Amino acid sequence: MDNLYEILAARFPRDPDASCMILADGRVWTYGDVRRASSRIAGLIAALGLKAGDRVAAQVEKTPESMVLYLATLRAGMVFLPLNPAYQRHELEYFLNDAKPGLFVCRPQLRPLANELTQQAGVPHLLEIDDNGKGSLIDAAAPFGDDFATVQRHSGDLAAILYTSGTTGRSKGAMLTHGNLAVNARTLHAFWHFQPGDMLLHMLPTFHVHGLFVAIHCVLLNGSAMLFEAKFDAKRARQLLPQATVFMGVPTYYVRLLGEPGFDHDSCRHIRLFVSGSAPLLRETFDAFIERTGHTILERYGMTEGGMFTSNPYVGERRGGTVGFPLPGTEVRIVDDDGKVCKTGVIGNIQVRGDNVFVGYWQMPEKTAEEFTADGWFKTGDVGRRDGHGYIAIVGRSKDLIISGGLNVYPKEIEDMIDALPGVAESAVIGLSHADFGESVNAVVVRQKNAAGAILTQAGVIAALKGELANFKIPKRVFVVDDLPRNAMGKVQKNVLRERYS
């Protein structure tokens, strides 16, 4: 059976009363609850008339019910498409029209907009899960049975589509198969030594690879429990960490933990593993964490398009400023612009290959072809080097991407929106270093010459973008200028802007 749900469920504990998710209010979801609830929701999805391969899009808060909706989608043979609840009209409209899901699950407060957009996009079914895990989807699933027969899927069948922003401004849906997800889950579970009795403190959002796949798959394959928190909060993390053995986070979580009074050795007394990824972990954070807690954070590197590619070792030296070695089953090479493999220590483009690497971008065959080499290597757009001991360091990106608090922002998308505002001639969106988010989004906006009546201000630009774009993409600062620096080819020199405004 290649359905990922079956692969995970085969490792669920025999005892149906064993804990799976422990919630902030003390409620516990057992593995039996997970099986039953996913069965009922799968029954509902199938009864709606969705066919294998149809998309189930969900823009809901992190709750046990929304996690189970993911498993139910797998069981029913559909393709899960999680969306950040921060997404606004502009983003949602695009995703629904592009993915054409058979079912869209939203929060009740979004209902009016969801009605409008689903009608426009021809999405036949709209149901709700609210922020307490209740709503029309849960009510409609209640009459269905606890013994849904999980639909047969092959390892090459799609399990999920996760949108990643695109350099051209158009988001691309990365198509991941049951096989892609299963192979990465098994690798990480083994490589990070998951063991009976582990307790993961889960504070990541569940609409991205990190929180949804890396963290949850490891726990489910392990048949163990997680402290399932709605979001990251440093104070709450400090209180809960003594009950946990594993923690996974983006670098901002570690920066915030270090800023938390009372966070020390004792707070981490049962922890065996801290994992960081999704964005570069600063050397100073890595060092300060060792000093404060005695723990060496394990940094790993990955991407929506294939899960995890490299990891520092579980046993052996974890080197700060590096992302370790290729994981078993994943090949990583560093090549120059002509595709020739670089010598040790030489900086080049990172390419990856393996069974975990995605099968392409949803309905974008040309874009997919561009991102792979003729011999099947995926071009990550990251730039790095390998040292004499084989440790890989990410030193930059060839793609114009900002990672803010572990969330990706492609400048082109914001620039397009700003350029359409009255009084704007053009704009350049740049990442600047930020103590908390690592990088922050900033806009340099050129006022139109002789634009009658248009007064461009930071507040005006920000107000115009809010409601259209997710909050994390809204520039933290806006600089209004008369022109942008350009090179001889006429290309905007973002490096000059970054220096000027840093």
Can residue 412 be called a binding residue for ligand AMP (CB under 6 A)? no
Residue closer to ligand AMP by CB (options 39, 278) is 278
Can residue 180 be called a binding residue for ligand MLC (CB under 6 A)? no
**Stretches 235-243, 400-408, 414-422, 446-454: which one binds ligand MLC (CB under 6 A)?**
400-408
Q: Is the dihedral of CA 316, 322, 327, 333 positive or negative?
A: negative
**Of the candidates 394, 424, 441, 469, which one interacts with ligand AMP according to CB under 6 A?**
394
What is the pattern of x (binds ligand MLC, CB under 6 A) and - over residues 277-296? Answer: xx------------------
Can residue 170 be called a binding residue for ligand AMP (CB under 6 A)? no
Can residue 404 be called a binding residue for ligand MLC (CB under 6 A)? yes
Can residue 302 be called a binding residue for ligand MLC (CB under 6 A)? yes
**Stretches 115-123, 150-158, 302-310, 344-352: which one binds ligand MLC (CB under 6 A)?**
302-310
Instruction: Determine phi and psi for 328, rounding to 5 degrees.
Output: -55, 130
3-state secondary structure of 93: helix
**Residue 326's binding partner, choosing from ligand AMP, ligand MLC, none, with beta-carbon cut-off 5 to 8 A by kind?**
none
What percentage of the chain's residues is helix, strand, coil (to nearest 5)? 30, 25, 40
**Of the candidates 30, 38, 88, 164, which one interacts with ligand AMP according to CB under 6 A?**
164
Tokens of 25: 């209010």
- Binding residues for ligand AMP, rule CB under 6 A, total 18
Residue 385 CA, distance from chain mean position:
24
Q: Least distance in Å: CB of 381 to ligand AMP? A: 6
Residue closer to ligand MLC by CB (options 202, 208) is 208
Instruction: Determine phi and psi for 111, rounding to 5 degrees.
Output: -50, -50
**Stretches 101-109, 194-202, 356-364, 398-406: which one binds ligand MLC (CB under 6 A)?**
398-406
At position 442, the amino acid (one-letter code) is N
Can residue 411 be called a binding residue for ligand AMP (CB under 6 A)? no
3-state secondary structure of 39: helix
Q: Least distance in Å: CB of 407 to ligand AMP? A: 7
Residues between 142 and 161 that touch ligand MLC (CB under 6 A): none
Contact 334, 350 (CB under 8 A): yes
Residue closer to ligand MLC by CB (options 123, 240) is 240
Can residue 211 be called a binding residue for ligand MLC (CB under 6 A)? yes
Can residue 325 be called a binding residue for ligand MLC (CB under 6 A)? no
Tokens of 244: 């946990």
Can residue 361 be called a binding residue for ligand AMP (CB under 6 A)? no
**Stretches 39-47, 66-74, 276-284, 327-335: which one binds ligand AMP (CB under 6 A)?**
276-284
At position 453, the amino acid (one-letter code) is G
419 Cβ neighbours under 8 A, 6+ residues apart: 426, 427
Can residue 330 be called a binding residue for ligand AMP (CB under 6 A)? no
C-alpha to C-alpha distances, 498 to 251, 347, 432, 473, nearest whole angstrom: 21, 22, 6, 17
Can residue 324 be called a binding residue for ligand MLC (CB under 6 A)? no
Can residue 303 be called a binding residue for ligand AMP (CB under 6 A)? yes
At position 139, the amino acid (one-letter code) is D
3-state secondary structure of 445: strand
Report the DSSP pairing between strands 307-311 and 325-326: antiparallel
**Residue 299's binding partner, choosing from ligand AMP, ligand MLC, none, with beta-carbon cut-off 5 to 8 A by kind?**
ligand AMP
Give the C-alpha separation, 75 to 3, whole Å. 7
Can residue 210 be called a binding residue for ligand MLC (CB under 6 A)? yes
Can residue 82 be called a binding residue for ligand AMP (CB under 6 A)? no
Can residue 302 be called a binding residue for ligand AMP (CB under 6 A)? yes
**Of the candidates 73, 245, 368, 408, which one interacts with ligand AMP according to CB under 6 A?**
408
Q: Least distance in Å: CB of 285 to ligand AMP? A: 12
Can residue 60 be called a binding residue for ligand MLC (CB under 6 A)? no
At position 428, the amino acid (one-letter code) is A
Give the C-alpha separation, 45 to 76, whole Å. 7
Which residue in 65, 107, 102 sits closest to 83, CA to CA? 107
- The DSSP symbol for 404 reads E
Vertex 80 angle, CA 200 and 55, to 5°? 175
C-alpha to C-alpha distances, 198 to 227, 243, 249, 277, nearest whole angstrom: 11, 10, 17, 20
101 Cβ neighbours under 8 A, 6+ residues apart: 54, 55, 56, 57, 81, 123
At position 313, the amino acid (one-letter code) is P
Q: Least distance in Å: CB of 397 to ligand AMP? A: 5
**Of the candidates 301, 325, 362, 378, which one interacts with ligand AMP according to CB under 6 A?**
301
Give the C-alpha separation, 166 to 164, whole Å. 6
- The DSSP symbol for 327 reads P
Q: Least distance in Å: CB of 430 to ligand MLC? A: 14
**Of the candidates 105, 204, 227, 275, which one interacts with ligand MLC according to CB under 6 A?**
204
Q: Least distance in Å: CB of 99 to ligand AMP? A: 17
Give the C-alpha separation, 396 to 461, whole Å. 29
Q: Least distance in Å: CB of 246 to ligand AMP? A: 17
The Cβ of residue 318 has, within 10 Å, a number of other Cβ atoms equal to 21
Residues that bind ligand MLC (CB under 6 A): 204-205, 208-211, 232, 250, 252, 277-278, 302-304, 404-407, 437, 471-472
